[in-house]
Structure 1
Amino acid sequence: MLIAVRALALLLALLALGVTLWHGLDERGTALAFGVLIAVGELGRWSGTGEREPAPLGAAGALAYALLGENAGHRTDHGVLQVVAVVVAAALVGCVPHVARGHGPTPDHLARRVLTVAFAAVCFQPLYDRGRLLEWGGPAQALLLVALLVLTTLWDAVLAAATAHARTRWPFGPLLRDELRATPGIGSAVCATGAVMALAVAVTGLWALPVFSLPLLLTQLSFRRYAAVRATYRQTIASLARATEIAGYTPAGHARRVAALSRAVGRELGLSEPDLTVLEHAALMHDIGQLSLVDPVPAGATAALPPDEQRRIALLGGAVVRQTGVEAEVAVVVERQADPYRDQPVTARIVRTVNAYEEMARGAGPSGPLTALEELRLGTARDYQPEVVESLARVLSRAGLTLPRPG
C-alpha cells in the first residue's frame, strides 16, 4: 500500500511536470504567484514537530490554486496537470533549505500533498471548465466548494491513515479516527483559507494572496507556541519520572522504556491519541510512589511484591501525581495499578502488563523476553488481561523480541 501510494504520486508528478514543460505554462503570472506562495509556505514548515500539517500556508496555497476558476473576473485556463506541476515544483524549491539541514519532508508527506491537490483539482476544474459552476452561481457554488473541501479533507485523512498503517501496521480504524479528530484544528484553517483565497482572487485578483495569508500565518504561530508548551509539559513529566531513578529506587531508563512500549501496545490495541497521551504520561510516572518507601525495593521490581504493598505504593503514587498538577486521568491510571485487571481501565492494564514484562525480562539474558511472556500468559487468570499480553507479544515480535537498552 505504501509503495503504491508513493508510486502513484511519483507517476502523477512526473506526468504533470512533463506535460507542463512540453506545452508551457498557461497564465504564467498566476502560476508564479501561487508557486511563490507555496514555496514560502514550505520554507516556513515546522521541522521535527510531528504535526499532521507542518506547512499549513503551503497546503492552503496549493488548495487555493486547485480551486481557482477566475482571476479578477477573468476565466483561468490552467488544468489539473498544471496545478499538480506548479505545486510539486514549488514544494521542492521550498524544501531545499530543510533538506540541506537534514530536516526535509518525508516521501509520505510529499505523496499526500500531490494526491490531495490532484483530487481537489480533478473534482473542481472539469466542472468549472464545462461552465457548470457559472450556471449554478451564488449559494449553490458556495455549497459545492464546501462539499469539495469536505471530500478533500476525507481523502487526505484516508491517505494519511493508510500510509501510517502500511508503515507501522497499527490498526487502520483508530488511525483514521485520529486524523479526523485532528481536522478541526489546523486542518480546518487550511481548508477555509484555501477556499477564501480562491474566491478572493476570483474577485480582486492576486493581491488577495498576501492579504489572506496573514490570518493563517498568525494561526500557525499560535499552533507553534502551543506545540512548544506541550513539549515542555511532557519534558516536565519525564523529569519528574526520573526522580525514582536519581534516588536509586528504579533502574536507569526503566520509566522511559515502559512508556515507549506501553504506547506501542496502546497503538496495537487501537487507542485514540488522547488515550495514548494519558497512557504515556502514566507509564512515565507509574513508579513515583516508591519515593515514599524507607527501604527501596530491589531493582524497583514492584510486580513481585504482595498485593497489599503494591496497592499502597500505587495509591501513594496517585497522590503524588495529583499534587504535581498532571491531569486526573493519569493519577487514576497510577492508582489502579494493583487492582485486578477486570476492574482497571485499559490504560492501567497496559501499564501494569508492560511494567511486569520489563521487570521480568530485565537482566534475564537472551531468553528473558520469551520467559517473561510465558509468565505473563500464566498470570492472565487474574493479574493481566489476555488481549493486552497478546498485543504486547505482537509488538515485541515486530521488534525482534528485544527490549530497548537502558540509558
Structure 2
Amino acid sequence: MSLLRLVHGAAALAAAGSLGVTLWTGLGERGVALAFGALIAVGELTRWGGAQVRQAAPLGTAGSLSYALLGPDAGRPTPHGAAQVVTVVLAAALLGAVPHIWSGRTATPDHLARRVLTVGFAAVCFQPLYNKGAFASWSGSAYALLLITLLTLTALCDAVLAAALARCRTGWPFAACLREQLRGLLGIGFAVSATGGVMALAVAVVGLWALPVFCLPLLLTQLSVRRYAAVRATYRQTIASLARATEIAGCTPAGHARRVAALSLAVGRDLGLTGHELTVLEHAALMHDIGQLSLVDPVPAGATAGLPPEEQRRIALLGGAVVRQTGVDAAVAVVVERQADPCGEQPLAARIVRAVNAYEERTRDAGPEDALRALEELRLGTAGDYAPDVVESLARVLAQPRLWREGSPAGAGERRTALSDPVPGWVTHG
C-alpha cells in the first residue's frame, strides 16, 4: 500500500503545483481551454461503467492527450504550458466524474491519479520545448513522428502505472497485470492514442472545429464495444446457468462450481495467466462437473476427486462432450476433458481445476484444521496427482482470502473483479 500512497501523493502534488502555477500566471487561451475541458468532461460522463475493476474513458483520454500535445491552433501558436494542461484536465475530469462518484461505481482516486500523472508526463515532455520554439522548424512527417513517439511513451508509462495500481489493489502479480495492460495497447489503447494525436494535428491546421469531427468515430466505437460487452455478459451468464444444472439436478452441492471457479481464477492470476487464458479457466472451472449429468448413478455428494482414475476420466470425457455441444469455446472443452489426465500431460488450466476441485471437496463444511489438512493432502499428492506449483499457488491464495472472494465469477450476484474482463481492449486508458 506504500506504493499506492506514493502514486496518489505524486498525483496530488502535481495537481496542487499545477493549480498554483495556473492561478499565479492566469489561464491562457481560455477558448481553447474551455473547448478541450468540455470534451474531456463529456468523455468522463460517458466513461465505461459497470462493476468491473477496469474503467475506461477513451474519449476523455484522447481529449486529454490531444490538449497535452497541442501546438498551434489553426496556425496560431498557443502559449499554454504543462501546468495549465494538468489543471484543465483535472478540473474537467472531476466535473465529469461527479455522477460516477455519486453512484460509487468507479475507483475515482486511482483513475484521477493515472490521468494527472500520464497527461502531466506528456505535457512536460512537449509544452516547454514547444513554447521555447524548439519545434518551430519541424513540419510534416517529422512533427507527426514526434507526436507518435510521445504518445507511445505516454501509453507505456500509463500501462506501468495501471499495473502498479492493480497490483496494490488486488495483490495480483505485477508481471501479469503489466502484460494485460500492454495487451490493451494493441486494442482500444492504440485507437485512443491515435485519436489524440490526430486531433492535435487537426486543430493545428483547421482549429477547434476538428474536435467534434475526430471524436465522432471514437464515440461510435465506444458504443459498439458496449454492445459487444453486453453480448459477452449474456454469454457468461448462460455459462453460469449451465454450471448450475448439476446443482439443480442434485449431482453437486450448491455453490460448488462457483467456489471452484473463484479459487481457480485466483490461482490462475497468481501463476501469471491473463486475458483469454483466464476466461477459459473460469468457464472450465464452472463447467468441470457437468459430465455428472450423464451418469445413471450419481456420485455421492458429487465428490469426484476420490473416484478411481478411470472413472474420473470417463466423467471428464462426458463433460467435454457436453461442453462441445453447447457451443462454448473448444479450449474450455479441452480443459474439462483433460482435468483427470495424468498431471504431467495436462495443460495448466486443467491442473488448476483439478487441484482446486479436490481442495474444495475436502473442505466442505470444514473448519480451519480440516482446511490445513486438505492442503497437506494435496501437497502429499504432488508426486503424481497434482502439480506442485499449482498446490503452492493455492496455498498462497488461501492465505489472502480477498484475492479469491472478490474474484467470484459473474452471475452469482457478486461484484466482478476478474482479469478475464469481457473487453480486454479497454485496459490501458482508464
Instruction: Please tell me the TM-score bracket, short chain as reference.
Output: over 0.9
> Helix, strand or coil for the counterpart of 2:253?
coil
Which residue of the partner structure matches residue 80 of structure 1? 82
Deviation at 1:130, TM superposition (A): 2.4
Aligned with 1:125 (options 124, 127, 131): 127
Q: State how 1:159-308 maps to structure 2 within 5 Å.
A: 159-308=161-310
CA contact (8 A) 1:80 1:122 kept: yes
Task: Please state how far the C-alpha of 1:23 moved relative to its aligned partner.
Answer: 2.5
The letter for the 2-side match of 1:187 is G
1:145 Cα offset (Å): 1.0
* Mapping for residues 45-60 of structure 1, pairs under 5 Å: 45-48=47-50, 50=52, 52=54, 54-60=56-62
SS of 1:383's equivalent?
coil
* CA deviation after TM superposition for structure 1 residue 391, in Å: 0.4
Q: Are the aligned partners of 1:95 and 1:105 in contact in 2 as well (CA < 8 Å)?
A: no
Residue from 35, 44, 59 that aligns with 1:42: 44
Matches within 5 A, 1:140-151: 140-151=142-153
- Which residue pairs with 2:417 in the alignment? none
Structure richer in helix, relative to its length: 1
Q: State the shift of 1:11 in Å.
A: 1.1
CA distance in 1, matches of 2:283, 2:75: 55
Q: Residue 395 in 1 paired to residue 397 in 2?
A: yes
Taking a change above 3 Å as real, the CA distance of residues 49 and 397 of structure 1, as seen in their structure-2 partners, is: closer
How has the CA–CA distance of structure 1 residues 127 and 204 changed in structure 2, closer, same or farther, with 3 Å as cutoff? same
Aligned mates of 2:103, 2:168 — CA distance in 1: 28
Q: Map Cα deviations across residues 109-162 of structure 1 (whole Å, 9 max, x no partner).
A: 111111110111111112212222221222111111111111111111111111
2-structure distance, mates of 1:63, 1:36? 14
Query: Equivalents in 2 of 1:200, 1:179: separation in Å?
Result: 28
1:86-124 superposed Cα distances (whole Å, 9 cap, x missing partner) = 000000001112222222443111111111101111111
Aligned partner of residue 136 in structure 1, secondary structure: coil
Deviates more, 1:46-55 or 1:288-297: 46-55
Q: Deviations over 1:273-322 (max 9, x none)?
A: 11111100100000000001122212111001111110000000000000
**Structure 2 stretches lacking a partner, 5+ long:** 414-430
Query: Residue 68 of structure 2: which of 45, 66, 69 is its match?
Result: 66
In structure 2, the residue matched to 1:332 is 334
Contact 2:101 2:108 in 1 (8 A): no
What one-letter code is carried by the residue in structure 2 that aligns with 1:371? R
Aligned twin of 1:135 = 137
Query: 1:20 maps to what in 2?
Result: 22
Q: Is the Cα contact below 8 Å between 1:362 and 1:368 reproduced in 2?
A: no
Could you tell me which of 302, 316, 319 is aligned with 2:318? Answer: 316
Pairwise CA RMSD: 1.8
Task: Note the alpha carbon deviations across 1:16-37, whole angstroms, 9 max, x for none.
Answer: 1222123221111110110010
Distance in 2 of aligned mates of 1:403 and 1:32: 44
CA contact (8 A) 2:260 2:286 kept: yes
Q: Please give the per-residue CA displacement for 1:317-368, whole angstroms capped at 9, x wherever unaligned.
A: 0000000000111000000011111110000000000000000011222322
| Equivalent pair of 1:96/1:104 in contact (CA under 8 Å) | no
What is the rounded CA distance, in whole Å, between the counterparts of 1:350 and 1:32 in structure 2? 53
- List structure 1 runs of 4+ shifted beyond 6 angstroms: 400-407
User: Partners of 1:258 and 1:111 in 2: how far apart?
Assistant: 35
Deviation (angstroms), 1:52: 4.3
Separation in 2, partners of 1:328, 1:88? 46
**Residue 343 (str. 1) matches residue 345 (str. 2):** yes
Which whole-Å CA distance do the structure 2 matches of 1:295 and 1:110 have between them? 57
1:371 Cα offset (Å) = 1.2
SS in 2 for 1:238: helix
Helix, strand or coil for the counterpart of 2:384? coil
TM superposition score normalised by structure 1: 0.96
Partner SS state of residue 54, structure 1? coil
The structural deviation recorded for 1:53 is 5.1
Structure 1 gaps of 5+ residues are none
Match in the other structure for 2:423: none
CA deviation vs aligned residue, 1:376-397 (integer Å, no higher than 9, x gap) = 0011001000110000000010
334-343 or 358-367, larger mean C-alpha shift: 358-367
User: In 2, Cα distance between the equivalents of 1:403 and 1:120?
Assistant: 38
Structure 1, residues 36-65: CA drift from partner, whole Å, max 9, x if none?
Answer: 100011111121253745211111110100
- The amino acid that maps onto 2:15 is A
Secondary structure of the equivalent of 1:395? helix
User: Using the alignment, how far apart are the partners of 1:216 and 1:87 within structure 2?
Assistant: 19
| Counterpart mapping for 1:101-120 below 5 A | 101-120=103-122
Taking a change above 3 Å as real, the CA distance of residues 201 and 259 of structure 1, as seen in their structure-2 partners, is same
Q: Single out whichever of 373-382 and 157-166 deviates more from structure 2.
A: 157-166
